Structure 1
């Protein structure tokens, strides 16, 4: 098949892809808020009707955190995974929407509703790619997994974690994540190191004649020190610099009491020049500087809550290379991108699994008001993933 054939076939399948995506958008599945059962049930019904092999994945609390479809080829080879989430961001202020967040309708060539862009349309595309692959699986090498996960927008990534921990799941040689966006394929991202920093001070009355450096004042000084900390810049290994942000400060109550404790959330975006241990050491040095300048009754505490490594695939590293080969065949002008925000690719990088994020349709209102996805992009997106998977599974190489 040439590039035109893939796009033409995807165009013929577009009505079916959109219909399933509409059904999914109409079923609210906000991460941590809604019952995921209905949206999982709808996908299961679609898979059963087409005799696609699937099973549920469960988290530590025995709750279902995703569906896993596995299509085995007729010859030995590597396994590859398509991943799209079925849960969504919250609706936010529903009064600000110009249509219901679960509309699931198509207006002016746009699929409308929460999850249309992130990532229920991609989930539908990947289900259809699995069906396409199953039809020719006997002549393919290795296999395809499709992970349709929930518990993603909570930040827990329960579906991906369950997939990686499942002893029966085929270990993927690479994962392609179905995030939206037509112009780029994300092949790397800064990692993250996060901690809660707790500063202490003697409590007191704000009207007391005794001068006391409060925990609020100590926290304010800590923010100044953190903001002025010197971080590595971009270099030949990674095109983005490290970044440190204080994202939350909590403590105190009312006006008459100077508090004895303030908690700060510190977020450090990692690069190869500043990894997790280096970030921990940097924050530790700043905390020591604070305690030396403004001695506390109890040393300032740093509790790490998350650490993901940065990642960046090389130009010839799969599955990114296969995506760019398909983009060339299909005439899609796609660029490689290293992202500032972290994504599930960082979690996978911690398990030595290379990952990409995007290519997907253009969109508006992602995680915001009036989310929608542009359906005119759908045939090209579907064609690229279909061709890329067949390429990775050896369809274009001699048996």
Structure 2
């Protein structure tokens, strides 16, 4: 990595922090706040530097993000930097030791909701776009910066709108700016989610008739699912390092004390792998449901309603854009390891949309992500900035 690039990153830090502070002071909790103010701050910054950008809307016309597009002067692939600018909720604000919208710097930490996830990254990425724009004529392909405001809802509306936009160049790969400096996330388990509805005759809880209620039938189904046989270690030779996982995440049924309910709903989350995919997950669930209905018959068959399905993904270390990011970090003397994450992330969505490769994490150290007193450590910001800048330049010059 050139000394000029490192020096430029150090010079950029003050401006990156200043914009990030402005973003943090504009609350943008997913599904709660109006996103126009936080996107407006970004639009003002981009317009002030004449960077080409436009709003993204979902099918219902709702504002779901901004897209910055820097076109190179030579043919080639497009690459994308992605950071969400909506955030998790504040939780118990009385438990915070500072305001969730403080946006200040204390003892080297940028403080407030979104400091770690991912307003600092969003600020860094638009600054990198400005750096790239200044030399775009010499570059191949193009750089897009996606600023999503429908990420923490789980809807990923900005990403979906970007991928569905006929005017946007389809990216050859995406680098997502989640925080954490020790790892580059190159994979994640997939998911298969469903709502299961269990039925039973309703009646008075004090009735002389013996009636097995829906909650009791649902409890038996939970036992069957929890005891289901999932593969342990990877068995397909893919090298995928994590096993599948099944979790019952919610049970809803009944009210009060005197009525035995006629239905009970379960939320089921199964994390999938190449050795245990969505079809395997659904087969396992339907087998357990059939066993329940045979053992404890109800007035109607138990209903399984699939809700969401994302495939697992994993990049090899020499695949782009992982290779460019790892190489750039190594050139700066930063030892990073690759990681396949247990939770799913936007990389799974991209994998399901035509197999777009993605990294999902390399950023500054952090504390309190999605929790109390969220903050991001700023001493490492110049290094993180330089790594992404170098990786982007390597991808746009075909190195």
Provide the C-alpha distance between the structure 2 equivalents of 1:357 and 1:5, rounded to a whole number of angstroms. Answer: 27
- In structure 2, list runs of 5 or more residues that go unmatched: none
Shift of 1:325: 1.0
Provide the C-alpha distance between the structure 2 equivalents of 1:394 and 1:190, rounded to a whole number of angstroms. Answer: 32
TM-score norm. by structure 2 comes to: 0.98
* Structure 2 residue aligned with 1:224: 223
* Structure 2 residue aligned with 1:310: 312
Shift of 1:277: 1.4
Provide the C-alpha distance between the structure 1 equivalents of 2:178 and 2:136, rounded to a whole number of angstroms. Answer: 26
* Structure 2 residue aligned with 1:386: 389
Shift of 1:8: 1.9
* Structure 2 residue aligned with 1:140: 139
* Structure 1 residue aligned with 2:34: 35
Residue 205 to residue 39, structure 1, CA distance change in 2 (3 Å): same
SS at match of 1:192: strand
SS at match of 1:393: helix
Shift of 1:5: 3.1
CA contact (8 A) 1:198 1:261 kept: yes
* Structure 2 residue aligned with 1:263: 265
Provide the C-alpha distance between the structure 1 equivalents of 2:204 and 2:65, rounded to a whole number of angstroms. Answer: 52
What does the per-residue CA deviation read over 1:206-248, in whole Å, with 9 as the maximum and x for residues that have no partner? 1111111111110110000000001112324210000000000
Provide the C-alpha distance between the structure 2 equivalents of 1:4 and 1:139, rounded to a whole number of angstroms. Answer: 20
* Structure 2 residue aligned with 1:239: 241
Provide the C-alpha distance between the structure 2 equivalents of 1:33 and 1:267, rounded to a whole number of angstroms. Answer: 24
Shift of 1:4: 3.6
Provide the C-alpha distance between the structure 1 equivalents of 2:281 and 2:195, rounded to a whole number of angstroms. Answer: 13
* Structure 1 residue aligned with 2:332: 330
Greater alpha carbon shift after TM alignment, 228-237 vs 242-251: 228-237
* Structure 2 residue aligned with 1:364: 367
* Structure 1 residue aligned with 2:110: 111
Shift of 1:49: 0.7
CA contact (8 A) 1:3 1:329 kept: no
* Structure 2 residue aligned with 1:190: 189
* Structure 1 residue aligned with 2:162: 163
* Structure 1 residue aligned with 2:279: 277
SS at match of 1:24: helix
Say whether residues 1:152 and 2:151 are aligned partners.
Answer: yes
Shift of 1:249: 0.3
Question: How many positions carry a matched residue from both structures?
Answer: 395
The two structures, once aligned, show a CA RMSD in angstroms of 0.9
Shift of 1:6: 2.3
Provide the C-alpha distance between the structure 1 equivalents of 2:232 and 2:386, rounded to a whole number of angstroms. Answer: 38
Say whether residues 1:291 and 2:293 are aligned partners.
Answer: yes
* Structure 2 residue aligned with 1:129: 128
TM-score norm. by structure 1 comes to: 0.98
Say whether residues 1:373 and 2:372 are aligned partners.
Answer: no
Provide the C-alpha distance between the structure 1 equivalents of 2:126 and 2:324, rounded to a whole number of angstroms. Answer: 20
SS at match of 2:397: coil
Provide the C-alpha distance between the structure 2 equivalents of 1:3 and 1:113, rounded to a whole number of angstroms. Answer: 33
